[in-house]
A and B are shown apart, each in its own frame.
Chain A
Amino acid sequence: MAGSTPASPTASPAAATGAGAQMVSSPGGEAWRRFRRHRLALGSAFILGVILLAAMLGPFVWTIPINDIDFNARLSPPSLKHPMGTDDLGQDLLARMLYGGRISLAVGLAAMVIAITVGVLVGAVAGMSRGSVDAFLMWLTDLFLSLPQLPLLLLIFYLFNDSLKKLVGPETGVFILVVAVIGGLRWMPVARLVRAQFLSLREKEFVEAARALGASPARQVVRHILPNAMGPVIVAATIDVAAAIIAESTLSFLGLGFPPDIPTWGRILFDAKDHLDIAPHWALFPGMLIFITVLTINYIGDGLRDAFDPRRVL
Chain B
Amino acid sequence: MTQYLLRRLLIAVPSLLGISLVLFSVLALAPGDPFGELAANPNVPPEVAAELRRKFGMDDPVLVRYWSWLTAMLQGSWGFSFVSRMDVDLLILQRLPTTLLVIGSSQLLALAIALPVGIYAATRPYSIFDQIASTLAFIGFSLPTFFTGIVLILIFSITLDWLPFVYRADIAETGWRFYWEHFRQMIMPVTVLGLFQAGSWTRYVRSAVLDVIRLDYVTTARSKGLPERVVIAKHVVRNALIPVVTLVALQMPAIFGGAIVTEQIFRVPGIGSLLISAMLANDTPVIMAVTFVFSVLVILCNLLADLLYGWLDPRISYR
A-facing residues in B285-316 (Cβ within 8 Å): 287-288, 290-291, 294-295, 297-299, 302
Q: Does B73 contact A (CB under 8 A)?
A: no
Q: A273-B150, A276-B158 are in contact. Are A159 and B26 (CB under 8 A)?
A: yes
In the docked arrangement, what's the CA distance between A291 and B146, Å?
11
Q: Does B86 contact A (CB under 8 A)?
A: no
B97 to chain A, nearest CB (A): 19
A198 to chain B, nearest CB (A): 21
Q: Does A79 contact B (CB under 8 A)?
A: no
Contact B264 A142 (CB under 8 A): no
Q: A2-B214, A147-B295, A256-B279 are in contact. Are A290 and B144 (CB under 8 A)?
A: yes
Q: Does B104 contact A (CB under 8 A)?
A: no
Q: Does A295 contact B (CB under 8 A)?
A: yes
In the docked arrangement, what's the CA distance between A249 and B294, Å?
21
Looking across the interface, which residue of chain B has its beta carbon closest to that of A270?
Answer: B146
Q: A9-B131, A149-B254 are in contact. Are A143 and B32 (CB under 8 A)?
A: no
Q: A155-B26, A159-B27 are in contact. Are A148 and B256 (CB under 8 A)?
A: yes
Contacts of A122 in B (CB 8 A): none
A156 to chain B, nearest CB (A): 6
Contacts of A159 in B (CB 8 A): 26-27, 30-32
Q: Does B15 contact A (CB under 8 A)?
A: yes
Contact A287 B26 (CB under 8 A): no
User: Scoring A residues 280 to 308 as 1 if CB is less than 8 Å from chain B, else 0, what string do you get?
Assistant: 10011001101100110011001000000
Contact A147 B22 (CB under 8 A): yes
In the docked arrangement, what's the CA distance between A146 and B254, Å?
10
Contact B130 A147 (CB under 8 A): no
Q: Does B172 contact A (CB under 8 A)?
A: no
Q: Does B139 contact A (CB under 8 A)?
A: yes
Which of B18, B147, B250, B291 is in CB contact (< 8 Å) with A152?
Answer: B291
Contact A150 B144 (CB under 8 A): no
Looking across the interface, which residue of chain A has its beta carbon closest to that of B158?
Answer: A277
Looking across the interface, which residue of chain A has its beta carbon closest to that of B216?
Answer: A2
Contact B291 A151 (CB under 8 A): yes
Contact B134 A9 (CB under 8 A): yes
In the docked arrangement, what's the CA distance between A302 and B138, Å?
10
In the docked arrangement, what's the CA distance between A10 and B125, Å?
11
In the docked arrangement, what's the CA distance between A3 and B166, Å?
50
Contacts of A158 in B (CB 8 A): 279, 287
A148, A273, A276: residue with the most chain B Cβ atoms closer than 10 Å: A148
Looking across the interface, which residue of chain A has its beta carbon closest to that of B17?
Answer: A143
In the docked arrangement, what's the CA distance between A238 and B288, Å?
33
User: Scoring B residues 150 to 167 as 1 if CB is less than 8 Å from chain A, else 0, what string do you get?
Assistant: 110110001000000000
In the docked arrangement, what's the CA distance between A210 and B264, Å?
56
In the docked arrangement, what's the CA distance between A142 and B135, Å?
31
Contacts of A50 in B (CB 8 A): none
Q: Does A171 contact B (CB under 8 A)?
A: no
B73 to chain A, nearest CB (A): 15
Q: Does A98 contact B (CB under 8 A)?
A: no
In the docked arrangement, what's the CA distance between A125 and B210, Å?
34
Interface size on B, as a range, is 35 or more
A-facing residues in B262-280 (Cβ within 8 Å): 264-265, 275-276, 279-280
Looking across the interface, which residue of chain B has its beta carbon closest to that of A256?
Answer: B279
Q: A2-B214, A254-B261, A276-B154 are in contact. Are A148 and B298 (CB under 8 A)?
A: yes
Contact B150 A269 (CB under 8 A): yes
Which of B15, B207, B260, B295 is in CB contact (< 8 Å) with A7?
Answer: B207
Interface size on A, as a range, is 35 or more
B36 to chain A, nearest CB (A): 11
Main secondary structure of the interface of A (DSSP, over half): helix
Contact B265 A273 (CB under 8 A): yes
User: Scoring A residues 85 to 115 as 1 if CB is less than 8 Å from chain B, else 0, what string do you get?
Assistant: 0000000000000000000000000000000
Q: A142-B15, A151-B260, A298-B142 are in contact. Are A254 and B32 (CB under 8 A)?
A: no
Looking across the interface, which residue of chain A has its beta carbon closest to that of B299?
Answer: A146
In the docked arrangement, what's the CA distance between A149 and B258, Å?
11
Contacts of B250 in A (CB 8 A): 145
In the docked arrangement, what's the CA distance between A152 and B23, Å?
8
Contacts of A145 in B (CB 8 A): 250, 253
Contact A146 B257 (CB under 8 A): no
In the docked arrangement, what's the CA distance between A277 and B160, Å?
12
In the docked arrangement, what's the CA distance between A172 and B294, Å?
30
Contacts of A295 in B (CB 8 A): 138-139, 142
In the docked arrangement, what's the CA distance between A201 and B177, Å?
64
B23, B134, B142, B288: residue with the most chain A Cβ atoms closer than 10 Å: B142
Q: Does A206 contact B (CB under 8 A)?
A: no
Q: A13-B126, A291-B144 are in contact. Are A276 and B153 (CB under 8 A)?
A: yes
B-facing residues in A1-45 (Cβ within 8 Å): 1-2, 5, 7, 9-10, 13
A-B contact pairs, 24 of them (CB 8 A): A5-B211, A7-B210, A9-B125, A9-B134, A9-B206, A10-B135, A146-B298, A147-B295, A151-B291, A151-B295, A152-B23, A152-B291, A154-B260, A154-B275, A159-B32, A160-B31, A254-B276, A255-B276, A256-B276, A283-B150, A283-B154, A295-B138, A298-B138, A298-B141
User: Which 4 A-B pairs have CB atoms at the shortest separation, nearest pair first?
Assistant: A150-B257, A159-B30, A287-B147, A9-B134
Given contacts A147-B295, A150-B256, A290-B144, 13 further A-B contacts (CB under 8 A): A10-B135, A139-B18, A143-B22, A147-B253, A148-B298, A159-B27, A160-B30, A163-B31, A246-B144, A254-B260, A255-B280, A283-B150, A298-B142
Residues of A within 8 A of B (CB): 1-2, 5, 7, 9-10, 13, 139, 142-143, 145-152, 154-156, 158-160, 162-163, 242, 246, 249-250, 253-256, 266, 269, 273, 276-277, 280, 283-284, 287-288, 290-291, 294-295, 298-299, 302
